[in-house]
Amino acid sequence: MLIRRNRSQINRLARLVVLTSAVGLVCLAGALAALWATSTDAAPGLDPVQRLALAAYLTARDADLARPAGGDPAPVSFTVESGETATAVARRLEAKKLVFDGSLLGYYLHYTGLDQKIEAGDFVLRQTMTVKEVALALTDATARQVSIRIFEGWRLGQIAESLSGNPALAVSEQAFMALAGPGGQAPPGYGFLGGRPAGASLEGYLFPDTYLVSPGATAADVVNKMLTNFQAHLPADYPAAAAQQHLDLYQAVIIASLIEREAVVDDERPLIAAVILNRLAAGQPLEIDATVQYAVGTPGNWWPPLAGLDFRSIQNPYNTYVVTGLPAGPIANPGLSSLLAVAHPAQSTYLYYRALCDGSGRHAFANTYQEHLANACP
């Protein structure tokens, strides 16, 4: 009786195993069928095994396909060379931190067939793009945008040189200066330009930033973008804040340009603004070296070294060693930190500053000329 019961239990267990296996196979078949049915994005050339394997892998990593590589929205130029494989492109994109997983991008490109549609050419990508967005972007080089960088403290001539030297743009120095240079025909519709003296250039108002423009963009396209960006960044209450310092907008832009060329670290900008405003209030010449550089700078040497020059012999309306008050106009295009420093200077009685001797870019500040001399490097 004991043997019979054991055999009966074994038979029931065997039937249960067979039944469970059958159910499992049915479920697996159903899952595979569902996976096959939903894998509509698959490239038609994939064999069934590849299609199912890649579909399963990408389904499991669906959240990763929507994940950006990072949080920096700055545009990054990326070039796909003629004949370069999708695997090589994906590997380089991971190395440049434009995708977080190059292998995932490679599998997605292969699964969707986009690996056969990648175009050779120049692209502008961002860390904030997802894996899927990067994959799609690589298939349309004709829709790319051109990235141009305008640095804080650049003067008008530097911007003109940079833009005219970009073969993707339709900008000549002559066309740019005809709009932005002295006596130029500035674009209409920017009320903040109204306070400039007659014939003044757009120096100071061409907001430093990284811009994306269409290939073949003209001087007018770029100038409008920079002026619009200036308007967008300037706080609405800025003119009122400048007025509290007894300045109109044009004067504030002039001082901001001086700060931009003199300051190296952000936290000193309000202090340098205070020194400039204190000297103006006291009727002292500003004696800012950067204004001498602006006066004597030439193409290819826009900010020359000043060693050996007699500053007071250079008769120029921008040279603050020979003119009282502000220079004739801005000497560069300042960033937002310098503009804000003018409207919100430090509360200070300092009248002097000079660079420290440690190469840090910081300055020593002083109230008296004697203190200023004592701050000189040994």
Per-residue DSSP letters for 166-193? Answer: -TTSB--HHHHHHHHSTT--PPS--GGG
To the nearest whole number, what is the mean pLDDT of the chain?
Answer: 88
Q: Is residue 35 scored above 80 in pLDDT? A: no
Give pLDDT, residue 107: 93
Phi and psi at 372, nearest 5°, equal -60, -45
Give pLDDT, residue 244: 97
Q: Which of 162, 330, 186, 349 is nearest to 259 (CA)?
A: 330
pLDDT digit string (tens) for 309-360? Answer: 999 999 999 999 999 999 999 999 999 999 999 999 999 999 999 999 998 9
Give pLDDT, residue 22: 45
Region of 335 (left: φ > 0; alpha: ψ -120 to 50; beta: rest) is beta
- Two structure tokens written together for 240: 């009122």
Give pLDDT, residue 79: 87
Rounded (10°) CA dihedral 314, 319, 320, 325 = 120
Residue 54: helix, strand or coil by DSSP?
A: helix
- Two structure tokens written together for 78: 């990326």
Give pLDDT, residue 5: 45
Instruction: State which amino acid sits at residue 194.
Output: G
Q: Is residue 17 scored above 50 in pLDDT? A: no
What confidence tier does 299 reach under pLDDT thresholds 50, 70, 90? very high
CB 66 within 8 A of CB 132: yes
Within a 13 Å sphere around the CA of 216, how many CA atoms are in the beta-carbon half? 2
Partnered with residue 71 across adjacent β-strands are: none
- Two structure tokens written together for 302: 């826009």
Lowest mean pLDDT among 39-43, 273-277, 300-304: 39-43
Partnered with residue 77 across adjacent β-strands are: 124
- How far is Cα 204 from Cα 156, in angstroms, rounded to an integer? 8
CA angle 204, 209, 214 (to 5 degrees): 110
Q: Is residue 248 scored above 80 in pLDDT? A: yes
What confidence tier does 237 reach under pLDDT thresholds 50, 70, 90? very high
What would the DSSP string read from start to end of 233-244?
HS-TTHHHHHHH
- How far is Cα 150 from Cα 147, in angstroms, rounded to an integer? 10
- How far is Cα 79 from Cα 57, in angstroms, rounded to an integer? 29
Q: Is residue 4 scored above 70 in pLDDT? A: no
Q: Which of 171, 254, 242 is nearest to 205 (CA)?
A: 254
- Give the chain's domains with CATH numbers: 63-143 (3.30.1490.480), 146-233 (no CATH), 238-374 (no CATH)
- How far is Cα 297 from Cα 151, in angstroms, rounded to an integer? 17
Distances (CA, A) of 273 to 14, 202, 261, 344: 89, 22, 12, 8
**122: which DSSP letter?**
E
Instruction: State which amino acid sits at residue 274.
Output: A
Distances (CA, A) of 206 to 22, 73, 120, 177, 260: 73, 21, 33, 12, 13
Give pLDDT, residue 26: 45
- How far is Cα 337 from Cα 348, in angstroms, rounded to an integer? 18
Segment 250-275 shows an average pLDDT of 97
Look at the block and give the residue holding tokens 């006066």.
295
How long a stretch of residues is the chain? 378
- Two structure tokens written together for 6: 């054991």
Region of 215 (left: φ > 0; alpha: ψ -120 to 50; beta: rest) is beta
- Two structure tokens written together for 370: 């004697």
Segment 65-88 shows an average pLDDT of 89
CB 206 within 8 A of CB 226: yes
β-strands 352-355, 363-366 pairing = antiparallel
pLDDT digit string (tens) for 104-131? Answer: 999 999 999 999 999 888 788 889 999 9
Q: What is the pTM of this model?
A: 0.68
CB 353 within 8 A of CB 273: no
pLDDT digit string (tens) for 139-164? Answer: 887 667 788 999 999 999 999 999 99
Segment 73-96 shows an average pLDDT of 90
- How far is Cα 171 from Cα 162, in angstroms, rounded to an integer? 10
pLDDT digit string (tens) for 36-69? Answer: 444 556 767 777 888 888 889 999 999 999 999 9
pLDDT digit string (tens) for 191-209? Answer: 999 999 999 999 999 999 9
Segment 93-97 shows an average pLDDT of 96
